[in-house]
Each structure stands twice: as C-alpha cells, then as structure tokens.
C-alpha cells in the first residue's frame, strides 16, 4: 500500500462491545478496512459498496485480483442485493447452516463489483456465526471479508500473528481472542445438481448430505469459482513435509534422526506416542480430536515457522468428517507429500 495506515487495536469485552461496534462501523462506512472476528478465522472487512475500500483489501493481503472474495451478510434478505436466484438446495442449506461456516455460490446480480467476484458471473456469500460481526453488518450492510493474512500464508486465527502481518495496512483490528473453529468455511456450489463442494471446510460432506442427500467434491480446476482454491494457500514460510502413513516407528525414528543432524525440526502429530523424540526436535501434539486440531492448526504452523528450520506433519488418525478438511489444508500447504515410510 502507498501510505502506511495507523492501525488501531480494540480488545473486545462486554463493557466496550457497543463502543467497538461504533468505531468499526464508522471506519467501514467511511471507506476504511478492519480486521474482524468470525467463528472460522479472522477476516479483513470492507463495504461491498466501496470499490476503493475493496481495493485496499487486495493491497493489504497482496491478493491476486482474480481470487474472488466472500461476502458476509447478517440477514438472508440482504441476498436480494447480491443475486436474483436462490434455488431449493441453497434454501435448505441456508436454513440449516446459517449463521455458520458455510459459503454458498450464487449467480451474481448485475452491477456487483467485479473486484468482489474476481471477474466471474458468480458470487460467494455466507452468514457468519459471530455476534459482533453480525451486529456490525447490520450497521454497515454486507461486507467483503477474506481471511486476515498475507495471501498464501496460513489464515489468521489469533491477533499476534495478524498484527505482525497487517499492522500499518488496515485501519482497525478487533481482537476477540483465538477463533472457535480455526478452519475456513466450506464452500459449496448449488448451481449444479448434485451440489459440489468447492472448498473443504468446517462443515463436512457428511453434515451437508444430511440436508441435501447427495454432494460431490470438486474435480481439479472445478473449484476456481471459489475463494481460496486457485493459488497455493495455507503455507508457512519454511519447508513443510506431510507423511501420510507410517508403517513402522523405526522408519520415522530414522527419518527424523537423519534430518535433525543439521536442522531444527518441528514435528506436528495428532495424538501419537512421541516419547523419546527430543534431540533438536520441537514436538506439537494437536490431539486426536478434530475440533481441537483444526482450532490450533494454523496457530501451530505459525509458531513453528518462527522457531524451526523445517516442519514435518505426521499422519492423521482418521480420514472422515473434519479430518478431510484438515488434510486438505495440510496437503495444500506442504512442499512435499510422502505417501508412506
């Protein structure tokens, strides 16, 4: 960005809730951009009606112009300004999952800012499950709000990481503590039948199929109308390797021993017995609970990025439900994937 912004931080409390809303809405309604909390990850928000503010989001994130933004609403009536078509599948999913971490793809209404849609004829919309942000949208109207991070890096889930990257690039940061979910929203296209999951996220395929019966995962290249699918994302700034299967603990021991001779290694695992792996190795256990693992995954990547030379991520305990989305983020952020050792 050409001119550095003086970034204000508000630590959100019950006592200052309304004052924070007043400040945040004032900034957004006058063309500013603000980091706001959601249940998934923090977002950088701007009014969808202010093209200059939308451009500031792209500059702050160093985001490619053809990567569309998700529009956040507080009431389904606001969809009337965004699309002329809401089919039955979309209505069912909205009724079941909104407010919540599900983004739906609609045909964009004529006149929608092309910066928001990435030049596409479709628009991505969700209703976040966060009291502050829902009330903020009531005061500002719909907000475009991609994740609060530099594009390609792990999404921002707590303020220390966000401030480090975005200080001087946004007008305001609203700090509500670490987010509840930790992974981005699931993005689903209901414009085709059966619907297609374009981006895996907090809402699993199994959960969606309880509402619309059949849903498929997108094929390679099919997800490009969804934010967060066209370019490399979720990657720390150091070499990261994902090992999908371990046939013997001895094989793992040999691998780690070899790599850690001249490097400090960070190992992320999910509830394995890692006793004895201490020499020049930093170990983080994200547990065998997928909700806990997803909440702290990005935070752990960012922590290790600052303290080790290389990250190794060990196999997941399961490949269903939320674990599918966690593995998606691991694979897309890794430099190397090893199927088995």
Which residues carry a binding-site annotation?
Answer: 40, 63, 67, 72, 122, 126, 145, 147, 155, 185, 199, 234
Handedness of CA 225, 229, 232, 237 (dihedral sign): positive
Q: Which residues are annotated as a binding site for ATP?
A: 63, 67, 147, 155, 199, 234
Annotated binding-site positions for L-threonine: 40, 72, 122, 126, 145, 185
Distance, CA of 50 to CA of 233 (rounded, Å):
27
CB within 8 Å of 39: residues ≥ 6 apart? 100, 101, 128, 129, 130, 179, 180, 181, 202
Residue 52 · residue 189 · CB < 8 Å? no
Nearest C-alpha neighbor of 62 from the set 121, 7, 126, 1 = 1
Q: Which helix (H) or strand (E) holds 125?
A: strand 122-126
Which of 25, 17, 119 minimizes the C-alpha distance to 67? 119
Return phi, psi of residue 157, to 5°: -115, -10
- Where does residue 341 rank: exposed (0-12), middle (13-18), buried (19+ CB within 10 A)? middle
Distance CA 64, CA 87 (A): 30
* Cis-peptide into 99, omega within 30 deg: yes
Residues 306 and 197: their CA atoms lie apart, in Å, by 34
Q: Tokens at residue 157, please?
A: 């889930």
- 158: helix, strand or coil: coil
């Amino acid at each position: 960005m050409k001119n550095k912004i003086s970034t204000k931080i508000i630590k959100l409390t019950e006592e200052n809730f309304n004052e924070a809303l007043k400040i945040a809405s004032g900034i957004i309604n006058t063309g500013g951009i603000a980091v706001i909390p959601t249940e998934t990850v923090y977002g950088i928000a701007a009014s969808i009606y202010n093209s200059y503010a939308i451009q500031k989001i792209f500059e702050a994130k160093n985001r490619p112009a053809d990567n569309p933004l998700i529009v956040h609403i507080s009431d389904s009536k606001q969809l009337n300004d965004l699309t002329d078509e809401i089919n039955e599948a979309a209505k069912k999913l909205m009724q079941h999952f909104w407010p919540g971490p599900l983004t739906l793809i609609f045909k964009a209404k004529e006149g929608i800012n092309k910066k928001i849609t990435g030049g596409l004829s479709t628009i991505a919309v969700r209703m976040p499950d966060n009291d502050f942000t829902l009330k903020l949208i009531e005061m500002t109207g719909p907000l475009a709000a991609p994740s609060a991070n530099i594009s390609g890096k792990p999404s921002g889930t707590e303020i220390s990481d966000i401030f480090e990257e975005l200080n001087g690039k946004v007008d305001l940061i609203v700090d509500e503590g670490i987010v509840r979910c930790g992974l981005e929203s699931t993005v689903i296209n209901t414009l085709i039948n059966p619907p297609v999951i374009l981006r895996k996220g907090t809402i699993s395929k199994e959960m969606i199929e309880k509402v619309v019966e059949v849903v498929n995962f997108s094929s390679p290249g099919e997800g490009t109308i969804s934010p967060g699918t066209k370019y490399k994302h979720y990657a720390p700034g150091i070499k990261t390797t994902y090992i999908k299967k371990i046939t013997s603990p001895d094989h793992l021991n040999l691998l780690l021993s070899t790599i850690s001779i001249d490097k400090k290694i960070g190992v992320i695992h999910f509830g394995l017995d890692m006793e004895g792996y201490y020499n020049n190795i930093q170990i983080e256990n994200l547990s065998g609970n997928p909700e806990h693992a997803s909440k702290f995954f990005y935070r752990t990547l960012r922590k290790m990025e600052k303290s080790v030379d290389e990250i190794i991520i060990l196999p997941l305990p399961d490949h269903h439900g939320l674990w599918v989305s966690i593995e998606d983020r691991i694979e897309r952020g890794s430099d190397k994937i090893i199927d088995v050792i």
